[in-house]
């Protein structure tokens, strides 16, 4: 009889554990009940791509060093009638204000890529805010437009980086298709990387002054359009309101 009582207690305890696990696994406002119960914050993730049924992708250009290929990039975008997003570093903006104006005048979206291309994970919150405020003000002084997008240098981020950007009304944008154009790949190799990895809602990472970007860009745009994709800016691709970003960085509608 004593054996049955002990076994019954064990069963009740097991049921209690299972129920607790289920409850703590429930999501509340994007985080789990466990994070509320145990007092830890859920992991924040930038937007790597967007969940969409549309054949639509965004192409981006990080600009930190050099500008001699930028005007030709703008000409190619115009030739294919596509939009894009340039993420500009503050010291690049200071060195090439006429290029910033040309990008803006072409109707191309501009985001910040920080002011000095520092690793934000190594910065304090006040240092991050200085980087972001300085760079966005430099851009706004030329374009007259508010900056809404941020790409962290080196793709380096943590919760503090994303939260700080959010406090300044900046969405942190990553990528899910890396051209690796900075590695000296040929135009064909860059194009093939994109075509093999792209999907609906992808964000493509390029650099404005990589060695073969001018060879790669028309090949990419031609192939993407022949595959039925609309190539656009990040701001046109992402969901503006009522969304969440899952742990893979996919932005989804609530």
pLDDT in tens, 86-111: 999 999 999 999 999 999 999 999 99
- Burial class of 162 by CB neighbour count within 10 A (0 to 12, 13 to 18, 19+): buried
Residues 117 and 33 in one domain: no
Q: State the helix-helix crossing angle for 125-143 and 159-167, rounded to 10 degrees.
A: 40
Query: What is the pTM for the complete model shown?
Result: 0.84
Q: How many domains does the chain have?
A: 2
Domain annotation covers residue 169: yes
Domain annotation covers residue 44: no
pLDDT digits (tens, 9 = 90+) for 27-49: 433 333 333 334 344 899 999 99
Structural domain boundaries enclosing 92: 49-253
Give me the pLDDT at residue 17, please.
47
Domain annotation covers residue 43: no
162's enclosing H/E stretch is helix 159-167
- Single out the catalytic residue among 10, 62, 68, 181: 62
Tokens, residue 90: 């503050």
Beta bridge partners of 193: none
pLDDT digits (tens, 9 = 90+) for 151-202: 999 999 999 999 999 999 999 999 999 999 999 999 999 999 999 999 999 9
Q: CA angle, corner 152, sides to 148 and 156, nearest 5?
A: 150
Residues 18 and 60 in one domain: no
Residues 29 and 84 in one domain: no
Q: What is the CATH number of the domain that holds 173?
A: 3.20.20.370
Domain annotation covers residue 230: yes
Give me the pLDDT at residue 42, please.
80
62 tagged catalytic: yes
- Single out the catalytic residue among 113, 117, 176, 207: 207
207 tagged catalytic: yes
Alpha carbons 143 and 138: distance in angstroms, whole number: 9
Residues 117 and 28 in one domain: no
Q: Is the pLDDT of residue 147 over 50?
A: yes
Domain annotation covers residue 86: yes
Provide, rounded to the nearest whole percent, the portion of the chain with pLDDT above 90.
83
């Amino acid at each position: 009889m004593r054996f049955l009582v002990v076994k019954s207690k064990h069963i009740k305890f097991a049921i209690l554990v299972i129920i607790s696990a289920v409850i703590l696994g429930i999501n509340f406002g994007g985080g789990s009940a466990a994070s509320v119960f145990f007092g830890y914050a859920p992991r924040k993730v930038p937007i790597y791509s967007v969940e969409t049924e549309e054949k639509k992708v965004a192409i981006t250009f990080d600009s930190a060093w050099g500008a001699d290929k930028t005007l030709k990039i703008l000409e190619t975008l115009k030739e294919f009638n596509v939009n894009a997003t340039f993420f500009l570093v503050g010291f690049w903006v200071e060195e090439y204000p006429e290029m910033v104006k040309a990008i803006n005048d072409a109707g191309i979206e501009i985001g910040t890529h920080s002011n000095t291309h520092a690793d934000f994970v190594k910065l304090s919150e006040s240092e991050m805010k200085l980087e972001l405020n300085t760079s966005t003000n430099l851009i706004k002084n030329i374009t007259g437009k508010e900056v809404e997008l941020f790409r962290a240098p080196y793709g380096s981020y943590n919760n503090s980086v994303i939260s700080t950007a959010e406090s300044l009304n900046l969405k942190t944008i990553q990528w899910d298709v890396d051209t690796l154009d900075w590695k000296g790949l040929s135009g064909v190799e860059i194009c093939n990387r994109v075509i093999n990895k792209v999907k609906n809602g992808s964000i493509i990472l390029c650099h404005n002054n990589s060695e073969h970007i001018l060879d790669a860009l028309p090949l990419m745009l031609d192939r993407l359009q022949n595959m039925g994709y609309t190539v656009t800016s990040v701001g046109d691709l992402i969901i503006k309101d009522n969304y969440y970003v899952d742990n893979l960085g996919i932005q989804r509608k609530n």
